[in-house]
């Protein structure tokens, strides 16, 4: 058992790691810390990354470029050596998220086809130097986070059209059409798709997690006037419409129309949704479809569920790391060494237990 001061105390052996993209004023990094909060690797990245995905068997971390970047940097975090730098290819860019299949054979990413503006899901063969195997449609614009469920891939189509020659400018806010798409990964066939009601079409579906019962918890980002005060969390269950959840008015106002990440705890009952602009982490009951509570975290966005029911790790852009257990009203700041504590941790965090 780790000492009580360890970052992963009570959750993992000393081989556990936390992985995130991070930045300082001069450089963007892939950051890996160990169970005691000590930096194991600070690997320089060519540009800012968004999500970092861990290979299920190898000690590999895949840092995916922030939209509209063109790289995925795969790094062996034990040796510090590059495994592969994947280029999106001419006429394409990444959207910040990718995942490995559970057997480790395939890397699946969300991408943009510049000529059509349509989103794609791209599959690459890990065992063949990450060679591209297939491209299938995401059935929407601006695909962002994706999840696997057996042979299905679930894609959050944010609905926002951008072009690299215009940076991160959003080009279609008046006509955007976000959706959640369930797609057969082998055939590319669309199995189910749900979208927002017409009056909510500027609620961008960006980040999500799924529990074993099939409930998808979704973090939303509103693209309309800040004064509109929209709901920022949604749930979806197959065969049903999207269900918007709303926090109490003071909390909903404080979220500032931007939810940054979503994760579900080990039990599948509690979802955490971060609101970094509002300096809040919100928590939701997935059995009763209701708000539970919120906890303060300045610029807190990255979330990981631990192997304890109702427990999450939370990272921030201020170089802080917290353990939160909303059902126990526990909010504990965890120690980090000076290297990790000086970096602005990016939007997402991945946890590997030992």
Distance CA 192, CA 73 (A): 32
Please, which residues have CB within 8 angstroms of residue 104's CB and are 6 or more apart in sequence? Answer: 55, 56, 57, 58, 126
Residue 86: alpha-carbon gap to chain centroid: 20
The token duo for 303 is 């979330």
Half-sphere exposure of residue 67: CA atoms within 13 angstroms, side-chain side: 26
What pLDDT shows up at residue 165?
Answer: 67
What pLDDT shows up at residue 15?
Answer: 64
In sequence order, what DSSP letters do the residues of 278-336 get, joined into one string?
GTEEEEEETTTTEEEEEEE-TTEEEEEE-SSTT-EEEEETTS-EEEEEGGGTEEEEE--
**Selection from 55, 51, 263 nearest residue 144 by Cα:** 51
The token duo for 49 is 């990354």
Distances (CA, A) of 124 to 110, 141, 334: 12, 21, 37
Distance CA 249, CA 322 (A): 25
Question: Do residues 283 and 271 lie in contact, with contact meaning Cβ atoms separated by under 8 Å?
Answer: yes
How many CB atoms neighbour CB 210 within 10 A?
18
pTM over 0.85: yes
**Sequence-ordered alpha helix ranges (H) in the chain:** 249-254, 338-341
Residue by residue, pLDDT tens for the chain (354 residues) are 222 334 444 443 346 899 999 999 999 999 999 978 899 999 999 999 999 999 999 999 999 999 999 999 999 999 999 999 999 999 999 999 999 999 999 999 999 998 898 999 999 999 999 999 999 999 999 999 999 999 999 999 999 887 766 667 787 888 899 999 999 999 999 999 999 999 999 999 999 999 999 999 999 999 998 889 999 999 999 999 999 999 999 999 999 999 999 999 999 999 999 999 999 999 999 999 999 999 999 999 999 999 999 999 999 999 999 999 999 999 999 999 999 999 999 999 999 987
Distance CA 285, CA 268 (A): 9
**Selection from 132, 128, 126 nearest residue 111 by Cα:** 132
**Tokens 């946890």 sit at which residue?**
351
How many CB atoms neighbour CB 175 within 10 A?
11
Helix (H) or strand (E) holding 203: strand 203-210
CATH class of 46-195: mainly beta
Beta strands (DSSP E) in 213-259 are 216-222, 233-236, 243-245
């Amino acid at each position: 058992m780790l000492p009580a001061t360890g970052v992963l105390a009570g959750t993992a052996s000393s081989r556990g790691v936390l992985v995130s993209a991070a930045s300082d004023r001069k450089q963007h990094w892939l950051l890996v810390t160990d169970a005691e909060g000590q930096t194991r690797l600070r690997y320089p990245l060519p540009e800012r990354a968004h999500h970092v995905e861990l290979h299920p068997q190898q000690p590999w971390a895949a840092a995916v470029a922030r939209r509209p970047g063109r790289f995925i940097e795969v790094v062996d975090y034990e040796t510090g050596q590059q495994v592969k730098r994947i280029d999106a290819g001419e006429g394409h860019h990444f959207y910040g998220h990718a995942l490995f299949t559970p057997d480790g054979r395939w890397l699946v990413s969300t991408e943009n086809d510049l000529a059509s503006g349509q989103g794609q899901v791209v599959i690459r063969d890990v065992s063949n130097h990450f060679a591209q195997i297939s491209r299938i449609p995401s059935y929407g614009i601006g695909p962002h986070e994706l999840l696997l469920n057996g042979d299905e891939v679930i894609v959050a189509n944010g609905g926002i059209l951008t072009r690299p020659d215009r940076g991160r400018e959003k080009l279609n806010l008046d006509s955007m059409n976000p959706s959640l798409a369930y797609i057969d990964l082998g055939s590319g066939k669309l199995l189910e798709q749900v979208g927002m009601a017409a009056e909510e079409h500027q609620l961008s579906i960006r980040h999500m997690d799924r529990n074993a019962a099939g409930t998808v918890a979704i973090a939303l980002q509103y693209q309309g006037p800040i004064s509109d005060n929209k709901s920022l969390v949604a749930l979806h269950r197959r065969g049903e419409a999207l269900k918007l959840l709303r926090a109490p008015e003071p909390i909903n106002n404080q979220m500032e129309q931007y939810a940054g990440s979503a994760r579900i705890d080990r039990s599948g009952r509690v979802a955490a949704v971060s609101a970094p602009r509002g300096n809040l982490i919100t928590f939701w009951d997935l059995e009763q479809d209701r708000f539970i509570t919120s906890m303060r975290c300045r610029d807190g966005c990255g979330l990981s569920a631990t192997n304890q029911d109702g427990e999450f790790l939370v990272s921030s852009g201020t170089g802080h790391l917290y353990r939160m257990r909303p059902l126990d009203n526990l909010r504990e700041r965890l120690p980090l060494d000076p290297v990790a504590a000086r970096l602005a941790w990016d939007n997402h965090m991945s946890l590997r237990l030992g």
